[in-house]
Amino acid sequence: MTATVDDDRLSETFAALASSTRRSILARLAEGAATVNELAEPFEMKLPAISKHIKVLERAGLVMRSQRAQYRPCALDAAPLEEVSTWAEQYRPVWEARFDRMDDYLTRLQPHGRPGEHDG
């Protein structure tokens, strides 16, 4: 049962993506690797803040780092994004079938029975 492990990884990935700053960093890295200063340049916040954002992305497996002199260039690893896509695609049938599930449920919710109760 590694379901929990996968679940945790997905949670960490989503948490990392729940920041437009971090998503911007990923977008920048999609065009090629970059140093921390290069990544920080478009933003108003200070370098330590960017450094921490990068660390979050790194922990989520979205960014790989190297070392060259003082530089610690970052590169995108999009593998977790494939997992995100796969996860979301599970729901494609739901968003494509736009019939109203709420009405569906309300129909099954009888006036004289509580939901989940099997007529006993």
Partner DNA sequence: CCTGTACTTTCCACCTCAGTTAATTATCCA
Partner DNA sequence: TGGATAATTAACTGAGGTGGAAAGTACAGG
Residue 34 has which token pair?
Answer: 């970059």
Question: Which C-beta is closer to its own copies: that of 48 or that of 111?
Answer: 111
Contact in structure between 10 and 83 (CB atoms under 8 Å): yes
Contact in structure between 74 and 34 (CB atoms under 8 Å): yes
Contact status: 35 vs DNA (CB under 7 A):
yes
Taking each helix axis from N to C end, the angle separating 20-30 and 3-17, rounded to the nearest 10 degrees, works out to: 90
In whole angstroms, give the CA distance from residue 36 to residue 52: 10
Residue 38 has which token pair?
Answer: 């290069």
Choose the stretch contacting DNA; rule: CB under 7 A; options: 1-9, 17-25, 83-91, 93-101: 17-25
Strands 63-65 and 74-76: antiparallel
Contact status: 93 vs DNA (CB under 7 A):
no
Contact status: 44 vs DNA (CB under 7 A):
yes
Contact status: 61 vs DNA (CB under 7 A):
no
Give backbone dihedrals phi and psi of 34, rounded to 5 degrees, phi first: -155, 155
Give contact residues for its own copies (rule: CB under 8 A): 4, 7-8, 10-12, 14-15, 17-20, 23, 26, 29-30, 32-35, 37-38, 64, 66, 68, 71, 73, 75-76, 78-79, 81-82, 84-85, 88-92, 94-95, 100-102, 104-106, 108-109, 115-116
Give contact residues for DNA (rule: CB under 7 A): 15, 18-19, 21, 35-38, 44-56, 65, 67, 69-73, 111-112, 114-115
